[in-house]
Copies of this chain bind each other. A is one copy, B any other.
């Protein structure tokens, strides 16, 4: 197979993530979440797709005047659901789900047109307008998710039905778009198909899919600008097409020239993920360098402490450097997931703990905050502070109260995105190449690898992220030499490492975030890594004006917040004295079992304020108890105030 040849060639410099179905997670943090996703979230999401008409749209029997009208991006929600369900099936057999998928795939296949085209909106609602508004209407985005779904279903089940549909569609797309005569030099306003085509290439070994993905990435932002030409063809004012709209879709300049994250954050993440994929597949250092520049800009100017990105609701994306307001932080759940995807890809080209640090930060905080403890409700945005909603909307019947999760959304990209993340979580924990086994994330369970043809198993015991004590045992048929690389998280300032009871760290500290032990390993070898996990105060860059004079609490990979449910005094008037120490306490009954941080703080006293809004004497500060809970777990109790950043007193 060509694919094997390709992968082998790159194998000396490029890592390969472990397949998630070769990882078993049986800890008390992730395993219950993954099971909830399988047992509750995935079935509930299917019901929502069904209720809202997303499934039935594939029947293609919509008639003018009928409600609902199949929306331009509905197909992508169903595709992501298929991907999540397929991932789940790959680790946990479920004949009913298997049958449900088969039936749905038959329905989807029936909607494919003669020429391979497949889009419920354009086929049924406006067939005359196919490919006329790539900028806004998500046609190739939907195709990309369909391709990802097809790859996932094939990899999970070995069934080729949806894969054939996806290949036919991709082949047709390849005839329409490109630089050849008569082809449209277009690309999608919402990136997604690019990374999907790389996946399709990896699964099928067909280089044309890689080339098509590469074309979409390289064509982006070139002049004459495709979205201008397309708008003119629609008879629209070119004036509408401004620099900002171009930045919105990262098409303001060719991708290799980009060095600032701009525009819609999910779009950006999917593009950068594809760029990282292509840099790996094509061994392209200059494309990787562009990724690296964008990464540095994002992580030093635009990322919330929770790993959330995209500060503004107005463009669902990036604004000015250091513009990180807490209460209005948009931080779309999909953007968090996209950030994980991108960093995971960066990590396959170069083992650098900075990527894994970001991946871990967002995974444990701003991504999984997106789903409720019962697995049925979602955040679209993930703010870092919440107070009583203050702005009454004209025409609203109900007085809003606090920020809450929703059962589903009109634009429901986030729910199935969370499902596919959780159902395939294991892949993020390990990478390998011929002579290396790299551990990025620590999760209790087992994983199995092929290292240059030899099978190696790793058995992990840990209570991470609640505790930093990690034991890894190795199992293999015969002694094997390889470098075991263990990530030392960026948050960790002290650790001990031992192999079979003997200290194994050379004292030089980790190299680019990893301790490497290169030796001949045998079955039964035990590695013990103790990551010290004190409660830390974190401070933001002084240009983040929203956090001047404030500190946040972090322990291990977890960012904490204070919620009203744990406090008698209003959370809004809590201050953290500089000298206060907070103690971690595991509370098994709370929020599914979490380590809280407890201690004493101060609260601005309301005494003497009965009749005035302003006065010239400073408010008195009275001592009070404070309890911080992991950010990801907020908004699972009675609605109330929440904040991540606390003023210091």
Interface residues of A (CB under 8 A from B): 239-240, 242-245, 247-248, 299-301, 303, 305, 311-312, 314-315, 319-320, 323, 387-388, 390-397, 399, 493, 536-545, 548-549, 551, 570, 572-573, 575, 578, 603-606, 609, 611-619, 647-649
| Neighbouring B residues of A541 by C-beta, 8 Å | 606, 609, 612-614
Chain B residue with Cβ nearest A311: B390
| Neighbouring B residues of A300 by C-beta, 8 Å | 611-613
| B549 and A390 within 8 A (CB) | no
Chain B residue with Cβ nearest A237: B395
| Neighbouring B residues of A617 by C-beta, 8 Å | 539
Minimum C-beta distance from A484 to chain B (A): 28
Could you show 28 A-B contacts with beta carbons less than 8 Å apart? A242-B395, A244-B392, A244-B394, A244-B396, A245-B395, A299-B613, A300-B613, A312-B391, A314-B393, A315-B392, A315-B394, A319-B391, A320-B388, A323-B390, A537-B616, A539-B615, A539-B618, A539-B619, A541-B609, A541-B614, A542-B572, A542-B604, A542-B619, A543-B572, A548-B572, A548-B604, A549-B648, A647-B647
DSSP majority for the A interface? loop
| Central interface residue in A303, A538, A548, by most chain B CB within 10 Å | A548
| Central interface residue in A387, A613, A616, by most chain B CB within 10 Å | A613
Known pairs A314-B394, A542-B573, A543-B570; list 19 more (Cβ under 8 Å). A244-B392, A244-B395, A244-B396, A245-B395, A305-B614, A315-B391, A493-B616, A539-B618, A539-B619, A540-B614, A541-B606, A542-B603, A542-B606, A543-B572, A545-B573, A548-B572, A548-B575, A548-B604, A647-B647
Closest 9 CB pairs of A and B: A542-B604, A545-B572, A319-B390, A549-B647, A542-B573, A314-B391, A323-B390, A244-B392, A320-B390
| Neighbouring B residues of A575 by C-beta, 8 Å | 548-549
Docked CA distance A243–B537 (Å): 45
| Central interface residue in A319, A388, A397, A616, by most chain B CB within 10 Å | A616
| A394 and B312 within 8 A (CB) | no
Chain B residue with Cβ nearest A328: B328
| Neighbouring B residues of A388 by C-beta, 8 Å | 320, 323
Chain B residue with Cβ nearest A559: B614
| Neighbouring B residues of A545 by C-beta, 8 Å | 387, 572-573
| A613 and B548 within 8 A (CB) | no
| B393 and A538 within 8 A (CB) | no
| A244 and B614 within 8 A (CB) | no
Minimum C-beta distance from A557 to chain B (A): 13
Minimum C-beta distance from A178 to chain B (A): 29
Docked CA distance A611–B299 (Å): 9
| Neighbouring B residues of A392 by C-beta, 8 Å | 244, 247, 314-315, 319
Chain B residue with Cβ nearest A327: B325
Docked CA distance A240–B336 (Å): 37
Docked CA distance A617–B395 (Å): 48
Docked CA distance A392–B323 (Å): 12
Docked CA distance A248–B393 (Å): 10
| Neighbouring B residues of A619 by C-beta, 8 Å | 539, 542
Docked CA distance A606–B299 (Å): 17
| Central interface residue in A300, A301, A551, by most chain B CB within 10 Å | A300
| A613 and B536 within 8 A (CB) | no
Minimum C-beta distance from A308 to chain B (A): 12
| A616 and B538 within 8 A (CB) | yes
Q: Known contacts A539-B614, A606-B542, A616-B539; decide if A244 and B390 are in contact (CB<8 Å).
A: no
Chain B residue with Cβ nearest A605: B542
Docked CA distance A611–B399 (Å): 44
| A609 and B542 within 8 A (CB) | yes
Docked CA distance A240–B548 (Å): 43
Chain B residue with Cβ nearest A323: B390
Minimum C-beta distance from A297 to chain B (A): 11
Minimum C-beta distance from A272 to chain B (A): 18
| B315 and A536 within 8 A (CB) | no
| B390 and A303 within 8 A (CB) | no
Q: Known contacts A541-B609, A573-B543, A615-B538; decide if A240 and B549 are in contact (CB<8 Å).
A: no
Chain B residue with Cβ nearest A385: B545
| Neighbouring B residues of A604 by C-beta, 8 Å | 542, 548
Chain B residue with Cβ nearest A391: B314
Docked CA distance A301–B611 (Å): 10
| Neighbouring B residues of A551 by C-beta, 8 Å | 618
Minimum C-beta distance from A228 to chain B (A): 14
| Neighbouring B residues of A615 by C-beta, 8 Å | 538-539
| Central interface residue in A391, A551, A605, A612, by most chain B CB within 10 Å | A391
Chain B residue with Cβ nearest A387: B545
Docked CA distance A578–B617 (Å): 12
| Neighbouring B residues of A390 by C-beta, 8 Å | 311-312, 319-320, 323
| Neighbouring B residues of A537 by C-beta, 8 Å | 616, 618
Minimum C-beta distance from A264 to chain B (A): 10
Chain B residue with Cβ nearest A319: B390
| Neighbouring B residues of A605 by C-beta, 8 Å | 542
| Neighbouring B residues of A542 by C-beta, 8 Å | 570, 572-573, 603-606, 609, 619
Minimum C-beta distance from A5 to chain B (A): 40
| Neighbouring B residues of A609 by C-beta, 8 Å | 541-542
Docked CA distance A605–B543 (Å): 10
| Neighbouring B residues of A387 by C-beta, 8 Å | 545
Minimum C-beta distance from A405 to chain B (A): 21
Docked CA distance A537–B311 (Å): 33
Minimum C-beta distance from A449 to chain B (A): 33
Minimum C-beta distance from A310 to chain B (A): 12
